[in-house]
Amino acid sequence: MVLNLTLYRRWFNQIAAGIKRIEYREIKPYWTKRIENKQYSEIHFRNGYGSHRPFMRVEYLGYTVDGSYYCLMLGDIIEITNH
């Protein structure tokens, strides 16, 4: 299963460069439904909402909870494309 997320360019570039290894999502009903009790193998990140946006596939290593945030643990980058 794949978790699809959209990111601002700053965070997309930091993940692509290997600087950012954790993606945070605030604990709210929307994210709880998408994250808890799910078995994802990858996260597909997109930068922006246009039809020609950068795309990245990243290995998903699970999540932890830190205060009021889900911490999505990122593994190896599988693919990056610049559409």
- Residue pLDDT, tens place only, 72-83: 999 999 999 985
Residue 47 CB-density burial (10 A; 0-12 exposed, 13-18 middle, 19+ buried)? buried
| Total domain count, the chain | 1
The span from the CA of 56 to the CA of 7, in Å, is 11
Residue 45's CATH number? 2.30.130.30
Average pLDDT score over the chain: 94
Q: Give the predicted TM-score (pTM) of the model.
A: 0.90
> Sorting pLDDT into bands at 50, 70 and 90, what band is 49?
confident
Quick one: pLDDT at residue 83? 59
Domain range for 19 is 2-82
